[in-house]
Structure 1
Amino acid sequence: MSRPLEGVRVVEVASWMFVPSGGSVLVDWGADVIKVENPAGGDPQRGLITSGLIPAGTVNFMVEQPNRGKRSVALNIAHPEGREALLKLVETADVFLTNYLEPVRRRLGIDNDAIRARNPSIVIARGTGQGPAGPDAERGGFDGASFWARGAVAAVFPPDAAGWPQGQPSPAFGDVMGGMALAGAIAAALLKRERTGEPSVIDVSLLATAMWQVSPLVVAAKLFGLTSLPRGDRRKNPNPGVGVFRTADDRYISLILLQSDRYWDDFAARLERPILVDDERFNTSEARSKNGPECIDIIDEAFAGRTLDEWKERLADFEGVWTPFQTLAELYDDPQVVANNYLPAMEDGAGNPVQLVASPAQFDEAPVEVERAPELGEHTELVLAELGIDWDEIAALKSRGAIL
């Protein structure tokens, strides 16, 4: 089965997680993504093991996850011959993908004008912290700052016990969302170019990604003066069929019965609480809204009487929406994750087995397949040879410090 971006070549001049994660989505969709790295160490995330942030002798998952399936070319683009090699590569590409700041790109001679001079039809895609305009357009940004803090995502989470804002719940929490947006924008720009002949310059910022992530509350903030997500007594929920309930073994179930009347009789039967149907305080959604605390107390008491495994069995064919709160480790055994191959297996360059997370989109119901991330400069000679550079010249470029 062919993938939608087969035949598309992407030159990625980017590091860390945000923009490279977008490149990994393009790989999953079939693109040939060539990652251009500095010969002196490459993407800084390669140094996480030597820095001690990731244990030695293990998989550098912060390299594997955003760089799987790419080809790595080590070019010193501060060297005139290294930059020329990059521009020759640009001539063969459909997309130029970068997170380099504009002043850096101008200094290196790889700004938009320089790229378009060598390939007028290329799509240029930039991942930025704060967007292409405004006083902070040329300032850098990581997701913990531009996305989480400035973009007000942290504002929808309660502060910690000491009143401090919460930190991000996961590494690269905003980066991977921004990367998905970049990949989608690139696909749209390629379609536009195919239909109109016009290439685009794309900008996706972490700030805009954050605002989109919490967009309902951003809109409500202006309308109603909200400064954070309202929080209150869960027993006062106007729909007792929506909420979180604790089981006998201190696990939690999320219940989402938005059309609660549709499922209520069956739900009450599975809870073995006929009072929820027989008592007029609870037998319609309107009545339950007026008597929410009492209704939730009954549901709480019922869920507390059985373990999560018992509830899984009891609710297995229930048509209403419910799900357990899972741990990260439990995802590996989730039957839906397994059936859809959302955690495809591979080995890294050292032969260590690892399962990576597939990007969310499947085409024609075909699971995403992944290959390992490249070693630094692993494909330098091969890619330069594809450009028509002969082996003597490749050796000379190495000797002059232009390539690895």
Structure 2
Amino acid sequence: MFQPMQGVRVIEVAQFTFVPSAGAVLADWGADVIKIEHAEKGDAQRGLIKVFGQSVVDDASTFAPIMDGPNRGKRSLGLSLEKPESKAVLAELVKGADVFLTNFLPGARRKLGIDIEDIRAINPDIVYASGTSFAHSGPESDNGGYDGTAFWSRAGNADSSTPPGYDRVINQPGGAFGDNIGGMTIAGGIAAALFARAQGQGAPTVDISLLGVGAWANQLNVNMALLAGGPLPKHDPRSTPVSNPLTNTYLTSDGRWINLIMLQPGRYWADFCHKIDRPELATDARFDSAEKLMANSAEAVAILNEIFAQRTKDEWVKALEHVEGQWAVVQNNFEVGHDPALNAIGQIADVVDAQGVTRKLVANPVQFDRRPAELRRAPLFAEHTDEILRELGLSDEQLIQLKIAGAVT
């Protein structure tokens, strides 16, 4: 398997998902990612047991998607950076690294001696990458947050997703939704920075905020609002008229939904009518041109509602298989994990956990040479401490002294 980051070493001082998921992508691409966790507390995400009411741990196994997803392929080093005895270890790690990756707040970075100036004083050629909630500098740079606050709420995504008059704000569709998008963004920024360094342009810093990622994901609406000079009008999808019956969602007889996104009704209508066994609709005087179809969209939608209600989801999948236009089943998460398109290219990938059991994880969406990533499990807490320190040349006696001091675990 082609691994473009092979030979690259990343030192990660980060918790939760936003920045660690970037480290996971880099590990998928072949980087040696050393995850520094507090020698006593570890990554705070190891302590989470539920997300949106759903358990994310299994008492009978060390495998936990909340940790294995954003931390797969890394090595874990238990190191208490606040201990003076840890400074020499950190310095040796930084000397041999290509990337320093963190989401610690500026105050914590200064206190621990891991801010840009501290790290660059040890290794001037290192790419320093930080993920923040709102900004890398300015009045809010010290403010912490999560994707629910910065990516979802503040960047306009929550408002865009919530119908007018609704009695609550719509939550993100899943845990770490913005975090994982942000992680891919950070990984791309680091790759570009390493390319620039290889081209002799120096080692730039990489700064990405969850707010910025959220604004980017929502850029069409934000750009249109800026053009309009005010917030965009809100529409309730339950009552907003459908101008094109081929861009609508229809309920099947077994309670599933089929989403049609055929933006050119004049091109697709006749073929669609034949494939659903209603060829007479293509020549119906109300619908026999794109203009008429859109003018009489409400009537067409009412007819299609009745038609789709006559068959199950599986029957519609078979009927629509060779339709020229674009459509999709509204899948649940379990179905996504078994999606034939994803599984055919290995994007739902095998990973062997610490007990030797083969599990499944979603691989990052980037493939090289059209080959799937080969995933390795996330490390257990401080699993590789001795291994990494011995690579740095420390003796057993030095390891013992560091452990006695509480600097490593």
| TM-score, normalised relative to structure 2 | 0.94
- Give the aligned length: 404
Residue 56 (structure 1) aligned to one of 48, 54, 59: 59
Amino acid in structure 2 at the alignment position of 1:152? G
Amino acid in structure 1 at the alignment position of 2:190? I
> Which residue does the alignment assign to 2:203?
199
Amino acid in structure 2 at the alignment position of 1:42? G
Corresponding residue SS for 1:242: coil
Conservation of the 8 A alpha-carbon contact between 1:248 and 1:304: yes
Corresponding residue SS for 1:34: strand
Residue 307 (structure 1) aligned to one of 297, 306, 312: 312
Name the CA distance, whole Å, in 2 between partners of 1:167 and 1:245: 24
Amino acid in structure 1 at the alignment position of 2:57? I
Q: Deviations over 1:308-358 (max 9, x none)?
A: 111111111222111111111112332112211222122322445421110
- 1:377 equivalent in alignment to 2:344: no
For structure 2, the residue ranges without an aligned partner over 5 or more in a row are none
> Which residue does the alignment assign to 1:85?
89
Name the CA distance, whole Å, in 2 between partners of 1:183 and 1:340: 22
> Which residue does the alignment assign to 1:149?
153
> Which residue does the alignment assign to 2:100?
96
Q: 1:164 and 1:270, CA in 2 relative to 1: closer, same or farther beyond 3 A?
A: same
RMSD: 2.0
Kindly state the Cα deviation for residue 392 of structure 1 after the two structures are TM-superposed: 2.3
Higher mean C-alpha displacement, 48-57 vs 149-158: 48-57
Corresponding residue SS for 1:236: coil
Name the CA distance, whole Å, in 2 between partners of 1:280 and 1:5: 60
Name the CA distance, whole Å, in 2 between partners of 1:301 and 1:6: 56
Name the CA distance, whole Å, in 2 between partners of 1:13 and 1:193: 22
Corresponding residue SS for 2:177: coil
Higher mean C-alpha displacement, 89-98 vs 332-341: 332-341
- 1:277 equivalent in alignment to 2:282: yes
Identity level (%)? 43
Higher mean C-alpha displacement, 272-281 vs 360-369: 272-281
Name the CA distance, whole Å, in 1 between partners of 2:251 and 2:239: 13
Name the CA distance, whole Å, in 2 between partners of 1:209 and 1:155: 16
Name the CA distance, whole Å, in 2 between partners of 1:143 and 1:343: 24
Conservation of the 8 A alpha-carbon contact between 2:164 and 2:235: no
Higher mean C-alpha displacement, 97-106 vs 384-393: 384-393
> Which residue does the alignment assign to 1:29?
29
Runs of 4+, deviation exceeding 4 Å: 49-53, 159-162, 232-235
> Which residue does the alignment assign to 1:75?
79
Higher mean C-alpha displacement, 274-283 vs 366-375: 274-283
Corresponding residue SS for 1:126: strand
Name the CA distance, whole Å, in 2 between partners of 1:175 and 1:296: 38
Conservation of the 8 A alpha-carbon contact between 1:96 and 1:123: yes
- 1:16 equivalent in alignment to 2:21: no
Conservation of the 8 A alpha-carbon contact between 2:107 and 2:142: yes
Kindly state the Cα deviation for residue 231 of structure 1 after the two structures are TM-superposed: 3.2
- 1:342 equivalent in alignment to 2:339: no
| TM-score, normalised relative to structure 1 | 0.95
Kindly state the Cα deviation for residue 162 of structure 1 after the two structures are TM-superposed: 6.0
